[in-house]
């Protein structure tokens, strides 16, 4: 095998090289792929890249990577051997992971799940991965019955590191196991493995802010290291080309507008290297898709930071206590997580959640969600932007088109609603509080119908006092067939950043009683958490963010134990403002916030789930498909068809 440095020398920035446009045996699967006409190198790469799960997964990978400029590159993957906890200790560490992330934000330790490193990263040719897994199985078999259990772990903290260290004498025993694995790997797979020589430990936190030390240390001391645990020997691999790249998760779909842009599919991952960003304009990044291998420019507000291990592939998991046949989970390591967090499931569990295949380009969005039928119902928060608004489609002076001198409404376009609710302050109040269009109502109803089709039941609906939001919520309930059954709670605290309101006063919103009179499903008995009197004109960004966070927390507290699903219908800014701090993340600066808001379309929809009973929340894939539509300009047949 060539020296590692030779392989690394091949890893040049993709932009310079690219042309645009326990285990399952590989043997039988390889034969099937070869009989289908796939070249052997490609078939092996597909099997290895999907963890040897099955022929279908390998085929899906090959079809999605058909235009990958590196499809035939002989560069092997990098492998690593970890000890990973399971059982009660894993549950303890998972709780620490979640609470520390919420309390202090993400630190470097969160990039990889809890583990003890047994060797350095090493490379193995695709054709020898099966032998490598056999080597690990053989090494574990030799150590069953004499593996130290429980492992004595001792908490250590410093100004920028917190971890659980293995007792030195026991650590030497673990290193002996790693040496035996290295020997087996050399004999069976002709692979050089370098056992870990440093102190063995489980990293809990590092590279964190100094002021978070006391909080993290307090959480670490709550971890009961005496809890039972079956330590598992697990073998992972990663694509060596992206070892030093930042991993990003695609949050929103994006269709390329130019040849040098990359298509984005929610659930995909993007690899981004700082050295490749030289020609990307502000607000754009250059990255490579995990699902297709293609590279291009993409809007940075359509992606979010992910953990490094989210894209790793699991090749085998072996128990030192359980003598049953080893388990191969296959596929991306994200398959062992529920939407990005550890699910506490034993790797040797005989009925694990089947990891999602890598062909997300071809799958409907619902298939991206993990199977959660066996789990207890989770509290879910949906946040949705209102539908298409009249003043954007027909211009700021739409009132002069639709109202005569006596204030009587007259429809002048099919996309204008047939009628509008009357307003006690007169039709001029529509200037700051416009309705949605007919198409806006259709958009909302489509979202409701999709929620109904996904068997989603909305227990509570809250919305901004803006008429466009109330009408959107009403039509979502119509699509859900819940109009009249579920009432909309109008919450002024959900109104957008008041700095964006023109003039010296806030809109004169229609009171809930008048909305109900106009046959909108509004709860007239609801008492807001933040009344209109508490809103101020031209509030600061910090005040708006604080208000949104406060009202979201109070809404969720109000609904707890009364229903599992809450829908907030508000503004584009609400998708960010109502969810970011619920995840324990710090608010973005106002400039970045505005860039995010600009990218959220009508009926933009996001979902958050609570992590157990912890009160912590995280973004997950919505249960419905996204809604995309194109512009449709006004058509005057006289001007177009009667021209000379």
Given a contact cutoff of 8 angstroms between Cβ atoms, the answer to whether 330 and 50 are in contact is yes
Q: What is the DSSP annotation of 15-61?
A: HHH--------HHHHHHHHHHTT--HHHHHHHHHHTTT--HHHHHHH
Of the candidates 249, 257, 225, the one whose C-alpha atom is nearest the C-alpha of residue 96 is 225
SS3 state at 126:
helix
Q: How many Å apart are CA 37 and CA 49, to the nearest integer?
A: 19
Element (H or E) spanning 185, and its range? Answer: helix 168-189
Residue among 361, 264, 349, 378 nearest 370 (CA): 378
**% pLDDT > 90, the chain:** 58
SS3 call for 65: coil
pLDDT at 20: 34
pLDDT at 323: 52
Q: What is the pLDDT of residue 634?
A: 77
Q: How far apart are CA 147 and CA 140, in angstroms?
A: 9
d(CA 71, CA 66): 8
Instruction: Provide DSSP, 547-603.
Output: HHHHHHHHHHHHHTTT-SEEEEEE-HHHHHHTTTGGGTPPPPPHHHHHHHHHT--TT
Take residue 102 and report the two structure tokens written for it.
């919420």
pLDDT at residue 351, as a whole number: 30
pTM of the model: 0.53
pLDDT value of position 368: 33
Q: Of all helices (H) and strands (E), which one includes residue 161?
A: strand 161-166
Q: What is the pLDDT of residues 62-120, one digit of tens each?
A: 999 999 999 999 899 999 999 999 888 888 898 898 888 888 888 889 889 899 999 99
Q: Determine the pLDDT at residue 376.
A: 47
Neighbours of 20 (CB within 10 A): 10
First-last CA distance in the chain? 75
| Cβ–Cβ under 8 Å, residues 555 and 492 | no
Q: How far apart are CA 496 and CA 518, in angstroms?
A: 24
Predicted confidence (pLDDT) per residue in 157-215, tens digit: 998 999 999 988 899 999 999 999 999 999 999 999 999 988 999 999 999 988 999 99
Residue 613 has a pLDDT of: 64
User: Quick one: 567 exposed, middle or buried, by C-beta within 10 A (0-12, 13-18, 19+)?
Assistant: buried
What pLDDT is recorded for position 371?
35
C-alpha 490/C-alpha 496 separation (Å) is 14
What are the DSSP calls for 76-125, one per residue?
A: PEEEEEEEE--HHHHHHHHHHHHHHHHHH---GGGGS-S-EE-B--EEE-
Q: Is the dihedral of CA 617, 623, 627, 628 positive or negative?
A: positive
The pLDDT of residue 7 is: 47
Residues labelled catalytic: 385-386, 571
User: In this predicted structure, what is the pLDDT of residue 281?
Assistant: 80
- Pairwise CA distance, residues 633 & 458, whole Å: 35
Per-residue confidence (pLDDT) for residue 615, from 0 to 100 = 67
Burial 35-57 (b: 16+ CB within 10 A, else e): eeebeeebbbbbbbbbbbbbbeb
CA distances from 517 to 186, 434, 514 (A): 79, 18, 5
- In the chain the domains, ranked by start, together with CATH numbers, are 32-63 (no CATH), 77-243+311-315 (3.90.1140.10), 252-301 (2.30.30.40), 380-389+434-620 (3.40.50.1240)
Residues of the chain with pLDDT under 50: 1-5, 7-24, 324-376
* Structural element, H or E, at residue 620: strand 617-620
The confidence score (pLDDT) of residue 354 equals 34
């Amino acid at each position: 095998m060539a020296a590692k440095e030779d392989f690394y020398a091949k890893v040049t920035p993709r932009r310079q090289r690219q042309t645009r446009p326990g285990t399952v045996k590989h043997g039988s699967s390889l034969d099937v792929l070869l009989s289908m006409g796939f070249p052997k190198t490609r078939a092996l790469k597909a099997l290895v890249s999907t963890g040897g799960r099955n022929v279908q997964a390998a085929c899906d990978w090959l079809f999605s990577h058909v235009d990958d400029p590196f499809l035939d590159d002989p560069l092997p993957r990098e492998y690593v051997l970890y000890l990973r906890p399971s059982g009660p200790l894993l549950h303890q560490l998972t709780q620490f992971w979640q609470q520390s992330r919420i309390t202090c934000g993400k630190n470097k330790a969160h990039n990889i799940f809890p583990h003890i490193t047994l060797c350095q990263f090493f490379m193995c040719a695709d054709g020898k991965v099966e032998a490598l897994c056999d080597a690990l199985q053989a090494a574990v078999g030799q150590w069953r019955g004499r593996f130290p259990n429980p492992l004595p772990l001792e908490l250590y903290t410093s100004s920028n590191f917190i971890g659980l260290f293995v007792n030195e004498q026991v650590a030497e025993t673990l290193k002996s196991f790693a040496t035996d694995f290295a020997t087996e790997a050399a004999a069976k797979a002709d692979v050089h493995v370098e056992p870990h020589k440093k102190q063995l430990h489980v990293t809990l936190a590092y590279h964190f802010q100094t002021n978070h030390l006391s909080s993290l240390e307090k959480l670490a001391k709550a971890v009961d290291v005496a809890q039972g645990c079956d330590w598992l020997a697990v073998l992972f691999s990663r694509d060596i080309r992206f070892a030093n790249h930042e991993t990003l998760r695609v949050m929103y779909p994006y269709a390329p507008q130019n040849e040098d842009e990359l298509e984005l599919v929610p659930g995909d991952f993007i690899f981004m290297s700082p050295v490749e960003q030289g020609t990307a304009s502000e607000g754009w990044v250059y990255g490579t898709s995990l699902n297709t291998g293609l590279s291009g420019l993409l809007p940075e507000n359509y992606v979010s930071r992910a953990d490094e291990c989210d894209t790793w592939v699991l090749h085998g998991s072996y128990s030192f206590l359980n003598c049953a046949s080893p388990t191969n989970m296959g596929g991306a390591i994200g398959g062992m997580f529920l939407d990005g967090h550890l699910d506490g499931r034993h790797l040797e569990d005989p009925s694990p959640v089947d990891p999602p295949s890598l062909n997300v380009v071809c799958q409907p969005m619902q298939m991206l969600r993990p199977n959660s039928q066996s789990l207890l119902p989770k509290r879910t928060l949906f946040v949705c932007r209102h539908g298409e608004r009249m003043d954007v489609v027909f211009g700021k002076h739409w009132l002069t088109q639709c109202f005569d001198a006596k204030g009587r409404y007259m429809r002048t376009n099919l996309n204008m609603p047939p009628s509008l609710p009357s307003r006690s302050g007169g039709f001029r109040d529509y200037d700051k509080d416009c309705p949605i269009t007919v198409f806006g109502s259709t958009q909302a109803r489509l979202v409701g119908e999709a929620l109904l089709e996904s068997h989603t039941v909305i227990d509570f609906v809250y919305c901004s006092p803006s008429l466009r939001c109330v009408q959107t919520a009403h039509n979502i309930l119509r699509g859900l067939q819940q109009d009249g059954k579920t009432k909309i709670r109008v919450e002024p605290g959900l109104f957008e950043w008041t700095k964006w309101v023109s003039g010296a006063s806030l809109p004169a919103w229609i009171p809930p009683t008048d909305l109900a009179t106009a046959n909108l499903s509004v709860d007239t008995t609801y008492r807001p958490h933040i009344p209109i009197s508490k809103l101020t004109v031209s509030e600061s960004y910090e005040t708006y963010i604080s208000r949104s966070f406060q009202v979201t927390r109070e809404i969720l507290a109000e609904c707890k134990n009364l229903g599992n699903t809450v829908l907030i219908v508000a503004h584009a800014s609400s998708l960010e403002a109502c969810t970011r701090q619920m995840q324990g993340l710090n608010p973005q600066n106002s400039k970045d916030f505005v860039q995010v808001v600009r990218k959220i379309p009508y009926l933009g929809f996001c979902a958050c789930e609570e992590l157990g009973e912890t009160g912590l929340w995280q973004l997950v894939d919505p249960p419905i498909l996204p809604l995309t539509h194109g512009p449709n300009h006004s058509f005057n047949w006289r001007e177009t068809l009667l021209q000379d």
